[in-house]
Amino acid sequence: MAKKKKKGVSVLSLVLVLVMIVGAALAFTGLFLDWTTSKTNVVIGSVESNATLQDWAEMHDSAVKLDGEVKYFVVTNMFAWIAAAAVAVAAVLFILKLVIRLKLLSTLGGIAGIVGLLCAVLAIVFTILMGNEYAVGNETIGNSVAPAIGCYLLTVGGVLGGAAAIGGAVKS
In tens digits, the chain (172 residues) has pLDDT values of 566 666 677 899 899 999 999 999 999 999 999 999 887 766 676 677 888 888 888 888 888 877 778 788 899 999 999 999 999 999 999 999 989 888 899 999 999 999 999 999 999 999 999 888 876 555 545 577 889 999 999 999 999 999 999 999 998 7
Q: Which residues of 127-144 are buried (b: 16+ CB within 10 A; e: fewer)?
A: bbebbeebbeeeeeeebb
Looking at residue 22, its pLDDT comes to 96
Q: At what angle do helices 103-137 and 11-32 cross, to 10 degrees?
A: 30
- pTM summary value: 0.85
> Measured between alpha carbons, how far is 172 from 160 in angstroms, rounded to an integer?
18
| Torsion sign over Cα 99, 105, 110, 111 | negative
Cα-flanking dihedrals φ and ψ of residue 2, to 5°? -85, 145
| Torsion sign over Cα 55, 57, 58, 59 | positive
> CA 4 → CA 100, 102, 104, distances in Å?
18, 18, 22
Q: What 3-state DSSP class applies to 165? A: helix
Looking at residue 145, its pLDDT comes to 83
Looking at residue 64, its pLDDT comes to 81
| Torsion sign over Cα 101, 107, 112, 117 | positive
